[in-house]
Amino acid sequence: MADLHFKLTDEIWEDMVTLEGAPITAIVVWDRSLVDDSLEQPVTDRTRVFVDVDLYLANQTKLELYGASVAVDETSDPIVGLDDIGETLARHTQNGAVIDEIAAGEDEMLVLLLSNDRKESLLMAASAWLEGVWEMLPEEAI
């Protein structure tokens, strides 16, 4: 079983950098997050900032991102609301999203720069993640 990672160390980054350029085949955005219980205020779908997301890559790699936030760039606040986050990620994926860059953010958290065929980009910062393999896409995948 894969290990749950909380910090992007140099060693882990060397393994993950091979995913740069990988097309995203599908995504699943979950309506609860692993970090929900640790937040000070109760979370509703309308106030949600952190989501758990599964990224299904064309190379059969599955990235499970926990406590992920999504922003349009480094200076923007994260997108708020489960529907807005899901719609943004779905639209981005449907327009040919790829993992453009893997980087470390604040406290060495994993940050993915996603780009697509329309030259749009998104930043996804994850509190924790797992890397695995997928064989079939789930029914709820976008």
What is the per-residue pLDDT for 142? 74
What is the per-residue pLDDT for 89? 94
> Rounded CA gap, 95 and 48, in Å?
24
What is the per-residue pLDDT for 60? 95
* Domain range summary for the chain, segments of one domain joined by +: 10-36+46-133
**Angle, vertex CA 115, rays to CA 137 and CA 107, nearest 5:** 90
Mean pLDDT of the chain: 92
Q: Would strands 110-115 and 61-71 be described as parallel, antiparallel, or unpaired?
A: unpaired
What is the per-residue pLDDT for 7? 94
List the chain residues with pLDDT less than 70. 1-2
Q: Are 24 and 134 in contact (CB under 8 A)?
A: no
Torsion angles phi and psi, residue 141, rounded to 5: -70, 145
